[in-house]
Structure 1
Amino acid sequence: MDFGLKDKIVIVTGGATGIGHAIARTFHEEGATVIINGRDQAKLTKAAAAIGTRAHGVVADLLTQEGALALADFAAGFGPVSFLVNNIGVFDVNDFFEVSDERWMEYFQHNLMTSIRISRLVMKDMLARNDGSIVFISSEAAIRSIGNMTPYSVTKTAMLGLSRSLAELTRGTNVRVNSYMPGSTATESVETYFADLAKQQGKTIEQALADFYRDVQPSNLTQKLIDPALHGRGVVQLMTNAAMNGVCHRADGGTIRSIFG
């Protein structure tokens, strides 16, 4: 299937690793020019080379407005941005009663404000051109609130509200804003988490994962971590489907027991 992405400009924030990298790779495979950002030029250069010849990395820290401007200006040098993937995020397992105010603010800065800063710039231009598509990479934790990941769940829930609110601004235009909720995925950080957990428990990684799905996510229908490449395909399909605006697309392996989404 031709998604019409040849020569289109795509920004994937935090696209050097994990789900973002998989999304960037899929856009590139479909003929797009892909811009990724981060804070380490060497890491970005390596990641862009792995994605392909039309991938470019720019040092731009979206924790600051200056970084957002740097990313938007860099991408604009290649042409109008047709697609923006808001992918930056942090997570950890924590005790709600021990999470400091400072750590809460770090979560909001990483998981929400990075998206807000770049969307403010890119979406305004999309509306002026009457063309563009934005997606927010949320998480199944936004719906399946997790007690030992409260700041993560809360900020990912807020991202769903942000996405729908911005979609309301597109009424009657050819600009669309959606959100995407992946489940537990075999990214570097998640694999490291399970490797450390297995070591602590004196188990193999396979045993730790089996226990996780039995005890923590028994409702998951696949009972395994998701290949990041599958999210690449899912996001491209969501972002190029003109019938989808203001929606949340679930790709959680069936963890959330719902017939909607």
Structure 2
Amino acid sequence: MQIDLSGKIAIVTGSTDGVGLAIATGLARAGASLVLVGREQSRIDAALARLRADSGRDDAVGVVADAGTSEGCKALIAAQPEADILVNNLGIYGVRPFFDIADDEWEQIFQVNVLSGVRLARHYAKGMQARGWGRIQFISSESALNIPTEMVHYGVSKAALQGLSRGLAKVLAGSGVTVNSILPGPTRTSGALAMIGSMAKERGVSVSEMEALFLQENRPSTLLRRFATPEEVANLCVYAASPQASATTGAALRVEGGIVESIA
């Protein structure tokens, strides 16, 4: 299968590292012109250098904006008014006992994980609909279906994304614009590796041993039995953004290594 996204403009939020940068790089390799989004110019510059080196393209641009806020979304929209592909990857997480999660923490995780996608999709979907073609993705998580007791607020926010994705797909039915959610599992991002590294130090084991212990203790149903790479997640996102995926919409696409105990 040859995926060709030439002539398409793609925006990926939270794209200075990890899964977001891997998605942006995959889309660029397929021919799309990329808009990276992050909060710091230095991180944007470093990400652009990596993307250009890894994709062989030099037409990517960066926008410094905090897409987790209303003001940041407005700044991004002002800098890049139109897009053909929107990947709402921005998200935060953190281990926190349920009884210690205060109202402001619930509010923050919904602002960043959910409302950022609402605000951007509300704008960019209109142009896609008018042009008769577009791809919108919300990066959810297996935690949306398998709510983790150690971070209930995160799982709930990701479950909300799936409802948002399905609802927007129905709003855009028949328009040529597809909307899907992507459900990764544990992935070797810098943030995840830092967390695993800290846990490994506390328990006096190696990082690789701690990764296996984490899955055994927290995700025992995994069939992959290892963390995925950002590129493995990105591969599914690139396909979902392709012309070949035109009949895939309103779906929750899983790339979580078989953690979710479901055949549906």
Q: TM-score range by the shorter chain?
A: over 0.9
Distance 2:80 2:2 in 1: 23
Cα distance per residue 1:46-68 (max 9 Å; x no partner): 10111011221111222333322
SS at match of 2:241: helix
What is the match of residue 20 of structure 1? 20
Cα distance per residue 1:219-252 (max 9 Å; x no partner): 1011101011111111011122001010010000
- Equivalent residues in 2 for 1:209-224, closer than 5 Å: 209-224=211-226
Cα distance per residue 1:3-62 (max 9 Å; x no partner): 220131000011111110100000111111100111101110110111011221111222
Residue type of the alignment partner of 1:70: A
Cα distance per residue 1:116-168 (max 9 Å; x no partner): 11111101111122210100000000001111110000000000000001001
- Aligned-residue Cα RMSD (Å) equals 1.1
Distance 1:72 1:210 in 2: 42
What is the match of residue 35 of structure 1? 35
Residue type of the alignment partner of 2:15: G
Given candidates 105, 123, 126, the residue that maps to 2:125 is 123
What is the match of residue 181 of structure 1? 183
SS at match of 2:175: coil
Distance 2:248 2:196 in 1: 35
SS at match of 2:147: coil
Residue type of the alignment partner of 2:70: Q
Cα distance per residue 1:82-133 (max 9 Å; x no partner): 1000000001111110111111111001100111111111011111222101
What is the match of residue 226 of structure 1? 228
Residue type of the alignment partner of 1:180: I
Distance 2:213 2:42 in 1: 38
SS at match of 1:180: strand
What is the match of residue 74 of structure 1? 79
Distance 2:13 2:135 in 1: 14
Distance 1:63 1:230 in 2: 25
Distance 1:217 1:171 in 2: 35
What is the match of residue 148 of structure 1? 150
Given candidates 252, 256, 259, the residue that maps to 2:256 is 252
- Segments of 5+ residues of structure 2 without an aligned counterpart are 53-57
SS at match of 2:250: coil
Distance 1:238 1:32 in 2: 14
Distance 2:43 2:237 in 1: 24
The percent identity for this pair of structures is: 37
When the two structures are aligned, how many residues end up with a matched partner?
257
> Is the 1:10–1:32 contact (alpha carbons within 8 Å) kept by the matching residues of 2?
yes
Give the structure-2-normalised TM-score: 0.94
Distance 2:173 2:212 in 1: 45
> Is the 2:134–2:178 contact (alpha carbons within 8 Å) kept by the matching residues of 1?
yes
Residue type of the alignment partner of 2:21: H
Residue type of the alignment partner of 2:207: I
Residue type of the alignment partner of 1:162: L
Cα distance per residue 1:180-229 (max 9 Å; x no partner): 00000000000000000000111111221222222222210111010111
Residue type of the alignment partner of 1:204: S
Given candidates 126, 136, 139, the residue that maps to 2:138 is 136
